Structure 1
Amino acid sequence: MTKQLIVRGAPQEYELKANAWDSLDVHLNRRNMKNILILHGERSWQAVKPYFPKLSITTSSHYYGGQCTDLAAENFASLCKKEQFDGIVAVGGGKVTDLGKFTAYKAHLPIIILPTLAATCAAYTPLSVIYNQASVMLRYDIFPKSNDLVLIDPEIILHSPRDLMIAGIGDTLAKWYESNVIISQLATKPLEVQVAEFAAKKSHEILLTQSHEALAAMDRKILNQAFIDVVEANILLAGMVGGFGDEYGRTAGAHSIHDALTVLPASHEQLHGNKVAYGILVQLMIENNLTEIKRLLPFYRQLHLPTNLADMNLKLTDLEFQAVAERACLPDEMIHLMKETITPDLIIEKMKALETFTQK
């Protein structure tokens, strides 16, 4: 073993139940928080504001600004110091959550997360994905402390946009393919890595067998166990893969392809999970695993996950293919954890091969 292996298994407290948000005041008082910053999204905040409980402490609510950047985190950390906040509550999706965690790290404050979506595992993991002002992904930062509390009300997520749940399924599906391509190279699997592998395999199983029933629950606005299982696959199980596996279970080819696509302004119209789902297929093409691609294509098409660039309304020039491939091959990109020797030429070849293969 040569890669990092530090276990960051779970938030300090995690709770999924009906009306979970109603207990927020109790949790804040237990932690002796008296003055908190509430970071929230825009449309999501308007949708969930009626569910947000009345609190017995001082609060200050702020729109997060639309992106998790170094500048935004610095600005909110300065605000925390100025207003003497003793905690942060992030209400929203992945980018709000990431900015909340990043700000909490900079301000040395506890972070409480109330997810409004199940589109990523951001609520569970002690890391943030950092972008620049132009929405190009720069890096992800891992923090030395777990999230303090995650409160999930499945009824709130039930009423979230369906396309974001589907994007979450695409993002989480990558956990198996990316972790497996790394873990399968190990002669001996430490127990921590076995836990990560179990979580990845279980999430893969749940998504392939229960996603349709979960999405039907969203259409009917009636909770069922499949919906709850998919929510927890996207948040809890997905978070466990990286939490226990660290670099053996975090990302590999699929996310490197996602990161590379962000250099294309036209790709910013696509949801994170959709680009990751496409990245899975590119990774499998690099592995020459056409059998698995064929197995996934019906599932992708039923959920309207993108199977190629054309499905994302992307038509790349030769220069754009080169830019994406070079970004995917940066020395610190996780795509190099694959056993294949990755080069820009190989990525361009496989991206083009995927277009042909999926459009037959």
Structure 2
Amino acid sequence: MTKQLIVRGAPQEYELKAHAWDSLESHLNRRNIKNVLILHGEKSWEAVKPYFPELSITAAYHYYGGQCTDAAAESFASLCNQKKFDGIIAVGGGKVADLGKFAAYKAHLPIIILPTLAATCAAYTPLSVVYDEAGIMLRYDIFPKASDLVLIDPAVILASPRELMIAGIGDTLAKWYESHAIISQLAVKPIEVQVAEFAAQKCREILIAESTAALEAMAQNQLNQAFIDVVEANILLAGMVGGFGDEYGRTAGAHSLHDAMTVLPGSHQQLHGNKVAYGILVQLMIEENLTEIEQLLPFYHQLNLPTSLAEMNLHLTEEEYQSVAERACAPGEMIHLMKQTITPDLVIQKMKALEAFTQE
């Protein structure tokens, strides 16, 4: 199996510390950035305003629009050219970060990311997941340049919604199962792939051992080491898996299932990481690894991660099963990196088998 292996290991600079955002202007000055576009979310921006520092440089604040689309990236890149911005700061969750990276790539500008959540590794990775206006996932674009800076204040993420942290745990847990499905097929593992495998193993190890304590920190609004560890597993370690492993460590069955489910309008009410967590179980069904599913189910139940379509209030018709399965198995989908021969019929069979298995 020969896949692309280009290392995109990390942002140019990454810093997690208390009051990290307070150093934003000094970072901008070091880069000679004097006129910035600041993209932000809606509810998240209202929540994190108290943490965001006053800037003495010129800054224009814009709500990002709710989705990372080609049109949005083109619009903000055009705005950057018109207003002669010399940098972009993305403040928010994964979609804000993805749109910021995409627009910065188009406008040939540095991108600085201030995460408000630990729900994905988007802040760390030099790629953007692109959707259409209806919320259907189209593709992901990988950029030849890493983000310039990621600044994480753990207090900001401590105050974020608990359900988004849980979704991040579900998304990050997939790093081990998806990368293992691919890497386990290799007779010889390049050093880069070994680094990706180590990071993926650490993701699973930290999340299984420390997620409960991390969520307790959120409930008590009191930082602890478990919380810091889970945040960095969801952002840094998760980003390293694809950053060093490239196509050997990026995605396989679980994310293909997630992407396919976006064709169902009802699925848009579910968080990305919840759908990925469900996809892990379908992937394990395809691998006929019922033992691992049984070991994971108590962890899923403890965190209230979905173990079935029914738990996501998704009751599919035969036509909807077919639509999801065909999308999951489309040519070029990462599900085909698994060693099994994947067909729509097999995906439907295993999705239904998971429903039965989790209801027993």
Q: TM-score, normalised by structure 2?
A: 1.00
Q: How far apart in 1 are the matches of 2:202 and 2:189?
A: 18
Q: Structure 2, unaligned stretches of length 5 or more?
A: none
Q: How far apart in 1 are the matches of 2:146 and 2:288?
A: 38
- The 5 A counterparts of 1:292-311 are 292-311=292-311
CA offset digits 1:241-297 (Å, max 9, x no partner): 000000000000000000000000000000000000000000000000000000000
- The 5 A counterparts of 1:252-271 are 252-271=252-271
Q: How far apart in 2 are the matches of 1:181 and 1:255?
A: 13
In structure 1, the partner of 2:118 is 118
Q: How far apart in 1 are the matches of 2:133 and 2:220?
A: 39
CA offset digits 1:102-128 (Å, max 9, x no partner): 000000000000000000000000000
Q: How far apart in 1 are the matches of 2:51 and 2:171?
A: 27
In structure 1, the partner of 2:167 is 167
Residue identity (%): 80
In structure 1, the partner of 2:190 is 190
1:64 is the counterpart of 2:64: yes
1:32 is the counterpart of 2:32: yes
Query: Aligned letter for 2:264?
Result: L
Give RMSD over aligned pairs.
Answer: 0.4
Q: How far apart in 2 are the matches of 1:183 and 1:133?
A: 35
Give the deviation of 1:50 after TM superposition. Answer: 1.0
SS at the partner of 1:39?
A: strand
CA offset digits 1:22-46 (Å, max 9, x no partner): 0000000000001000000000000
Deviates most, 205-214 or 47-56: 47-56
In structure 2, the partner of 1:323 is 323
CA offset digits 1:58-106 (Å, max 9, x no partner): 0000000000000000000000000000000000000000000000000
Q: How far apart in 2 are the matches of 1:52 and 1:338?
A: 43
Q: How far apart in 2 are the matches of 1:204 and 1:349?
A: 27
1:241 is the counterpart of 2:211: no
In structure 1, the partner of 2:209 is 209
- The 5 A counterparts of 1:216-235 are 216-235=216-235
SS at the partner of 2:336?
A: helix
SS at the partner of 1:281?
A: helix
Q: How far apart in 1 are the matches of 2:14 and 2:75?
A: 28
CA offset digits 1:178-219 (Å, max 9, x no partner): 000000000000000000000000010000000000000000
In structure 2, the partner of 1:80 is 80
Query: Aligned letter for 1:101?
Result: K
In structure 1, the partner of 2:89 is 89
SS at the partner of 1:330?
A: coil
Q: How far apart in 2 are the matches of 1:202 and 1:339?
A: 23
Q: How far apart in 1 are the matches of 2:328 and 2:254?
A: 10
Q: TM-score, normalised by structure 1?
A: 1.00
Give the deviation of 1:2 after TM superposition. Answer: 1.1
Q: How far apart in 2 are the matches of 1:259 and 1:159?
A: 29
Give the deviation of 1:177 after TM superposition. Answer: 0.1
Give the deviation of 1:318 after TM superposition. Answer: 0.2
SS at the partner of 2:284?
A: helix
In structure 1, the partner of 2:127 is 127
Runs of at least 4 residues of structure 1 off by over 4 A? none
Q: How far apart in 2 are the matches of 1:203 and 1:253?
A: 18
Q: How far apart in 1 are the matches of 2:110 and 2:202?
A: 31
